[in-house]
Chain A
Amino acid sequence: MIRFITFIGSKLLNVAQGLGEMLALFCETVYYFKEAPRNLPSIFRQMNLIGVGTLPIAMLVALFVGMVLSVQTGTQLALYGTQEAIGAIVGMSMVKELGPVMTSLLVAGRVGSAMAAEVGAMQVYEEIDALKTLEISPVRYLAMPRLIACLFTVPALVSFAIVVGIIGGGVVAEVNPKINVPFTVYYDNMIRALTYKEIFKGLLKAMVFGGIIAHVGCYVGFKTTGGARGIGESTTRSVVLSFLLIMVANYFLTRFMI
């Protein structure tokens, strides 16, 4: 029994320590935002990696998400003769949930894991120590540019994804004989349902998720130990942790913005 309590206690302490360290790293990263002007090249490089590199796959995923959403929902609505609402449903779903969440999960899998692996490799191969001896803060040099890049790039990616997803849904609504909603009707209904406030909320979510992805990737990278195996474990851990935190944050953001 004592062994069990000790086990639970040590796990809880580990979680508390991890959360504390993540918070401390986040505060330090935000503190270094003031140094962003001198790290512009690095920020642009990260934006290119995150944004341009992820754009094609994000578009493709969003296109099919919009199409599936349209075909699934449209056929059900058609049973009750209300398929004209499909534009509003796809639009709202893409803007409020699917766009930000799906794109962020994609970025977490593609970019967050790469960040964890890169920073982790730097940790394992003493490059982080080398930065410290060169009087360069690893948080300023590595974490800050990645966080800023993610904060701006993920909402931009989500914007594209939303547009492509809505177009995909519209095309399916028009060409699928079971739905058969003209694109103009689809578009009008979507525009009527969407407000700037909803779009802002969706992009705000994307920004928060972007922050989570960069922060988790860097935190897990900085904590990497144990050579190549450790780098592999960090990659997996960053993806799992990012997914988990994105889902948790999504609930709370939705709860407070509703």
Chain B
Amino acid sequence: MAPDKYYKSQHVVSQGPLGSFWSKLAHGFAPPIMEGDFCPVNFSGSHGVSIKISKLNKSFGATHVLKDIDLIIEPGETFSIIGPSGTGKSLLLKHIVKLEKADSGQILINDHDVNEPQDKNLPRNFRYSMVFQSSALFNSLTVGENVGLWLRENRIYGEVRIRRIIREKLRLVGLAGKEEMRTEELSGGMKKRVAIARSLAMEPDLILYDEPTAELDPVTSDELARVIMSLKEKVKLTTIIVSHDLNFALYLSDRVAMMHGGEIIAIGTPSEIKKSQNPIVRNFIYTTTKGIKGEGD
């Protein structure tokens, strides 16, 4: 990426000398990186990224967990990976966000190999974020502090702007005014939404959901589906959902892949997957209660 794509600071925040001192004492003495003329982070909004996975293999000892995974996901697409538990869906997700390293194969995000070192002199042209199965919120922090963690830790903005972003992201997931709540006071669905807000605070170009409906009742799952749907309309990012909740995946996705035994055995639109003649796919989807969005309206 050429230097002319460095991004000029749009949101410099000035604080009074006293306020500034206490703010620094509370949040550390390093200045926000957006105070300079140029910022190494592109904050011009989320842009969907393309993902290309080719011949990805992963083994743990003698167990071959991921077998020659080939997958292409288009920019802005909502893509779901379904399949029974223990087929390597979450592991595939962890490879995309570099939490695991493949034995062989390649993952390209916007044609950049995720395992290749990044040139530190150039801004990265994408960001990704993951919503974990357990939400993975930090119990020692409030809801607002969880949401603003990335911004504060990476000194992206000054404190006033960060608070504004926290409010904005919480409103986006339907949790306006909950900044001061402790995470242990939240229900499972609220925790998931806080985790989504925390991810959105990064303005990611790619967001990954690992079993978003796990441990949630059907009503809360529906609420979560609505949140993800509204995000899909408001924020143009690429979304990957790993789930064994078929209804949820078919309802939200542009395309769906089914994994079985570490391999992708079927891929297509929700309609195509529903009509698949593959006996394993048919066996997995023989019951649907919600149907596919737009079908039979």
Contact = CB atoms under 8 A, between A and B. Distances in A.
Interface in B183-211: 198, 202
Given A133-B128, A134-B202, A126 B28 contact: no
Interface stretch (B133-141, B218-226, B243-251): B133-141
Interface in A123-156: 125-127, 129-130, 132-136, 141
B7 interface: no
A133 B28 contact: no
A133 B29 contact: no
Chain B binding surface, main DSSP class:
loop
Contact of A136 (B26, B29, B130, B154): B154
A132 B114 CA distance: 14
A127 B137 CA distance: 7
A38 B28 contact: yes
A136 B149 contact: yes
Contacts of B58: none
Interface in A56-111: none
A37 interface: yes
Given A126-B136, A127-B138, A130-B136, A41 B129 contact: no
Contacts of B30: 35, 37-38
Contacts of A37: 28-30
Nearest to B99: A129
Contacts of A40: 25, 28-29
A48 interface: no
Interface string A176-192: 00000000000000000
Interface in B9-48: 25-30
A40 B30 CA distance: 10
Most A C-beta atoms less than 10 A away, residue of B136, B137, B202: B136
Interface in B114-171: 128-130, 132-134, 136-138, 149-150, 153-155
Contacts of B235: none
Given A134-B149, A135-B150, A41 B136 contact: no
Given A37-B29, A41-B27, A129 B132 contact: yes
A107 B251 CA distance: 53
A226 to B, nearest CB: 15
A134 B99 contact: no
B97 interface: yes
Contact of A141 (B26, B134, B153, B155): B153
A39 interface: yes
Contacts of A132: 97-99
B111 to A, nearest CB: 21
B138 to A, nearest CB: 6
Nearest to B150: A134
B28 A39 contact: yes
Contact of A135 (B99, B136, B154): B154
Interface string B81-122: 000000000000010011100000000000000000000000
Given A37-B29, A38-B29, A40-B28, A133 B129 contact: yes
Contacts of B128: 133
Contacts of A39: 28
Interface in A20-51: 35, 37-41
Contact of B132 (A38, A126, A136, A141): A126
B150 A136 contact: yes
B134 A136 contact: no
B130 A38 contact: no
Contacts of A141: 153
A134 B26 contact: no
Nearest to A118: B140
A126 B29 contact: no
B134 A126 contact: yes
Given A38-B29, A41-B27, A129-B99, A136 B153 contact: yes
Interface of B: 25-30, 94, 97-99, 128-130, 132-134, 136-138, 149-150, 153-155, 198, 202
22 contacts: A35-B30, A37-B28, A38-B28, A38-B29, A38-B153, A39-B28, A41-B25, A126-B136, A127-B136, A127-B138, A129-B94, A129-B132, A130-B132, A130-B136, A132-B97, A133-B128, A134-B150, A134-B153, A134-B198, A136-B149, A136-B153, A141-B153
Q: What 5 A-B pairs come out closest when comparing CB atoms?
A: A38-B28, A38-B30, A130-B136, A37-B29, A126-B136
